[in-house]
Amino acid sequence: MRALALALLLATVASPALAGEVALTFDDLPTMALSPTTDYAVVTTKDLLAGLKRHRFPAIGFVNEVKLEARDKPERIALLKAWLDAGMDLGNHTYDHPHFTTDAAAEIAEVEKGEVVTRALLAARHRSPHWFRHPYLETGATDEARKTFEAWLGAHGYRVAPVSMENSDWMFAMPYDEAVLKGDAAEAARIQKAYLDFTAQIVPWYIAAAKGVLGREPKFVFLMHATRLNAESIDGLAAILKANDLKAVTLARAMTDPAYVMAEDAVGTNGNQWVSRWAETLKKPMPWASLPKPPADIAAIDNRLEGAVGPPAAPAKPKP
């Protein structure tokens, strides 16, 4: 009888009492798109926000204000306002999405130049910019550049928004846009399926990698981009979160996880997500051998398109 009671007690302790948590973050606002038209950005923003609201997902969008510089600037600013009207937050992702090497002064100037419109929109709601996301997750090529920049961020009310989960969504996004713009529904559907299949593999990979490194599951911060593909994939993404027992929470909530105050002082030109950074700090291995790879044919389409439009406004390439 005592053995049975003990077994029941152990079963209770072993069962997962709490769902995992993840903050959804979308970079390169107002949108990252193959089409330069504001109409395309309007549809993307409207559908993305509608999907997030339908699922009651809180989210934050990180802005590159260079993308507002167009003849129809007021319409583009209205897209940012739509994020706030939908109850979402906005953060700073620099003005022009530069690489951050050794020049802290240049990076600081980019943050200042990149907050003008966002600060005004937040001020109208008695708020101020709080979160900063490094372009390409590059936190500085030297210790001095990193420390100088982060000291400036802290003194100006900013907190770094790390990334501990990503799904290379940018690689699928331009091929998807191309199919949409050509009116090729079958190709768009094929790319969307490949994207969701890949996401369904990489989300549990990040969970397993983080558990291996930390010995427990942290609250995740998921990097995606403000794309048409994500706008039209929210239901599929929601199903993947549910299948992995992940509940969407605010960035502030995810950042209460003590893993994000763990010292990590990575320097170098190679931007990296935080699970890898924790692994370096704790001298734990990352399971690179089991890292899912995006389909080669879609990567090839993306390479062709990125070659046509310039370098990707993209993040975290997992280190092979």
Q: Can you tell me the distance from the alpha carbon of 164 to that of 258, in angstroms, rounded to the nearest whole number?
A: 13
Site string for Zn ion, 291-320 (x = CB under 5 A): ----------------------x-------
User: Could you tell me how many residues of this chain bind Zn ion (CB under 5 A)?
Assistant: 4
CB of 273 closer than 8 Å to CB of 318: yes
CA dihedral 162, 163, 169, 174 (to 10 degrees): 20
Nearer to Zn ion, 108 or 262 (CB): 108
Site string for Zn ion, 55-74 (x = CB under 5 A): --------------------
Of how many residues is the chain composed?
320
CB atoms within 10 A of CB 127: 13
When asked if residue 27 is in the footprint of Zn ion (CB under 5 A), the reply is yes
Q: Can you tell me the distance from the alpha carbon of 36 to that of 46, in angstroms, rounded to the nearest whole number?
A: 16
Q: Can you tell me the distance from the alpha carbon of 157 to that of 136, in angstroms, rounded to the nearest whole number?
A: 22
Nearer to Zn ion, 214 or 226 (CB): 226
Give the relative orientation of helices 169-182 and 296-309 as an angle to the nearest 10 degrees: 80
Nearer to Zn ion, 141 or 262 (CB): 141
Nearer to Zn ion, 129 or 135 (CB): 135
CA dihedral 238, 239, 245, 248 (to 10 degrees): 10
Nearer to Zn ion, 27 or 232 (CB): 27
Q: Least distance in Å: CB of 28 to Zn ion?
A: 5
Minimal CB distance residue for Zn ion: 27
Burial of 261 (0-12, 13-18, 19+ CB in 10 A): exposed
Q: Least distance in Å: CB of 169 to Zn ion?
A: 11
Site string for Zn ion, 28-47 (x = CB under 5 A): x-------------------
Q: Least distance in Å: CB of 91 to Zn ion?
A: 11
Q: Least distance in Å: CB of 131 to Zn ion?
A: 13
Q: Least distance in Å: CB of 82 to Zn ion?
A: 19
Stretch that binds Zn ion, among 3-11, 22-30, 50-58, 166-174 (CB under 5 A): 22-30
Name which of residues 241 to 280 contact Zn ion (CB under 5 A).
none
Nearer to Zn ion, 69 or 297 (CB): 69
Give Cβ neighbours of residue 116 (< 8 Å, ≥ 6 apart). 65
The helix (H) or strand (E) run that includes residue 230 is: helix 228-231
Name which of residues 90 to 149 contact Zn ion (CB under 5 A).
135
Q: Looking at this protein, which amino acid is placed at residue 163?
A: V
Sites of contact with Zn ion (CB under 5 A): 27-28, 135, 313
